[in-house]
Structure 1
Amino acid sequence: MAIRKIVNYPAEILETKCQEVVKFDKKLAKMLDDMYDTMIEFDGVGLAAPQIGIDARVAIVDIDDESGTIEMINPRILETAGEQTGPEGCLSFPDLFGEVSRPNFVKIEALDRKGRKYVVEAEGFLARAIQHEIDHLDGILFTAKVLRYLEEDELKGVEAE
C-alpha cells in the first residue's frame, strides 16, 4: 500500500468527467488499496480517483460507521429523496469548507473491485459523502454547490470528503 499525493484545485483533472473502468485487475485493486490508505492518512471520509490524478470512475467512502468501506466503480445514482444541508470540505481544497444542500437519501448501483454489480442505499452523512464522491467522477466540485462558505469557528467536528 502507498500514500498517494492529493491533487489540489485548480488541477484540470478535478473538473474532468472520468472514464469508465473496463479492467478489473490487480492494478485496480492496488489503486483502491492506495486510495484507502491515502484517505485515512489525510483524515478524509471519501476519495475519488481524480483526486490522486487518475482519470477513472473509482471512488471510496468510509465514514467510520457500520457500513464499512464502500468501493464504488462506475457508480450510477438510481434514486434520491429528501434534502439535507450541512458542512462539506474536500481534500482537494485544504482548509475550505462550505454549507451544501444535497438529497438526504441516495440509492446507487456500482461495481466492486471484482466487477460484481451491487446496490447500496444511504441516508444522512453517508448519502452526502457518496454524492460528493460521485460528483468528483463527473468533474463537479463541491464549491459549485456551496450556499455559503464557513468560518473556522463554525467547523467543530467537520470532516473533509
Structure 2
Amino acid sequence: MAVREILTADDQLLKRKSRRILDIDNDVLELIQDLKDTLYAGDGVGLAAPQIGVLKRVFIIDLRNGEEPLILLNPKIIRKIGQYADREGCLSYPGYEGDVVRPKKVVVTGMNEKGNIIQYEALGLMARAICHETDHLDGILYMDIAKKIYKLQQEPVKEI
C-alpha cells in the first residue's frame, strides 16, 4: 500500500474527533495497511488514523518486542487502574517529549481487523500507548495534557 505523510501538531485536523468505523471494507483494510507501512517507516510505537489525515477510529501499536501488533478499531477504554508519570513522544510532534500522567493498567475493547470484538488488558508502555492513540482519535494531543514539554537534543554531527 503506502507510506503516508504524518501530520504535525499544528495541523487542525488532529484536533478533531474521529468517526466510528461501521464496516470493514477494502478502504478500511487499505487504511490499516497504510498505518502499518507508515509506522514501520518511522521509529514510533503507535500511529492513529488521524495522524495520516483520516478521521476514522483505528490505530496500530507495535512495541517491537516480538509480539503481534495491536490493531484496534473503535477502541473504548473501559477501565483505568493506577497512574504514573513518564516521558512520552509523538510522531506528530518530532523533536519533543513531555511528562504525561497515564494509567498503569487499562482494559480496552474494540474490533480487530477481522471484525471480531476483542477485549485487551495492558500494563506499562502498552497501556500508555493505548491511551495516547485513543486520545488521538478524540482530538487530544499529549502536549495538551503534558505537565512539562522538553525539546530533545540533537546529536552533534562529527566533521571529518
TM-score by length of 2: 0.91
Shift of 1:25: 1.3
Instruction: Report the Cα distance in structure 2 between the residues aligned to 1:151 and 1:34, rounded to whole angstroms.
Output: 29
> SS at 1:109's partner residue?
strand
Aligned to 1:85: 85
> By how many angstroms is 1:84 displaced?
1.7
Equivalent runs, 1:46-57 vs 2, <5 Å: 46-57=46-57
Secondary structure of the residue aligned to 1:7 is coil
Per-residue CA deviations over 1:30-71 (Å, capped at 9, x if unaligned) read 111110110111111000000000010011111112542000
Q: Which runs of 5+ in 1 are unaligned?
A: 154-161
Q: Which has the larger radius of gyration?
A: 2
Change (3 A) 1:143 1:122: same
Instruction: Specify the alignment match of 1:120 in structure 2.
Output: 120
User: Which 4+ stretches in 1 moved above 6 angstroms?
Assistant: none
Structure 2 Cα separation of the partners of residues 128 and 66 of structure 1: 18
2:100 aligned partner:
100
Deviates more, 1:81-90 or 1:58-67: 58-67
SS in 2 for 1:87: strand
Number of residue pairs the alignment of both structures matches: 153
CA shift digits 1:92-136 (9 cap, x unpaired): 111111111100100000101122100000000010011100000
- Alpha-carbon distance between aligned partners in 1 of 2:84 and 2:14, rounded to the nearest angstrom: 25
1:141 paired to 2:137: no
Where does residue 156 of structure 2 map in the other structure? none
3-state DSSP of counterpart to 2:77: strand
**SS of 1:20 mapped into structure 2:** coil
1:110 aligns with 110
Q: Which residue of 1 aligns with 2:152?
A: 152
- Secondary structure of the residue aligned to 2:139 is coil
Percent identical pairs in the alignment equals: 38
Q: Which has the higher contact order (CA 8 A, sep 6+)?
A: 1
Counterpart of 1:68 in structure 2 is: 68
Distance (whole Å) between structure 2 residues aligned to residue 99 and residue 66 of structure 1: 27
Structure 2 gaps, min length 5: 154-160
Does the CA contact (< 8 Å) of 2:3 and 2:34 recur in 1? yes
The reply to whether residue 23 of structure 1 matches residue 1 of structure 2 is: no
1:129 lines up with 2:129 in the alignment: yes
